[in-house]
Amino acid sequence: MPSSNPFPAEVVAAVTAHMNGDHPEDTLLICRALGGRPEATAARMTGLDGDGGDYAVTVDGAEHTVRVPWAHPLTERAQIRTEVVRMYQEACERLGVPPRGQH
């Protein structure tokens, strides 16, 4: 049974809109490296809760669902940004891509 979501719907909507609007390349790198979809050509964040983020990735023209767990459970909104930055840096390291400047 999944835990209840500590983040209200407006926080989820704000975070996903920010990631999809401002950081689509980061989202794609995270899904390629940490979401088990190295062949993905596009990705968007569709939701999140205290345990992880949900994404829709495009592979060969078809959309698939991917869930990427956080390193530890999150309960505060500020933790989401910190964790996404950590995931982005880990994804760059795994893929051999130089990370750009801090968000």
Q: Is residue 47 part of a domain?
A: yes
**Tally of structural domains, the chain:** 1
Q: Is residue 15 part of a domain?
A: yes
Provide the residue range defining the domain that includes 54: 9-93
Q: Is residue 103 part of a domain?
A: no
Q: Is residue 3 part of a domain?
A: no
Q: Which residues 6+ apart lie within 8 Å of 71 measured at CB?
A: 83, 86
Q: What is the pLDDT of residues 64-98, one digit of tens each?
A: 999 999 999 999 999 999 999 999 999 999 999 99
Tell me which residue of 27, 15, 26 sits closest to 56, measured CA to CA: 27
Q: Is residue 53 part of a domain?
A: yes
Q: Is residue 80 part of a domain?
A: yes
pLDDT number for residue 44: 98
Q: What is the pLDDT of residues 39-64, one digit of tens each?
A: 999 999 999 999 999 999 999 999 99
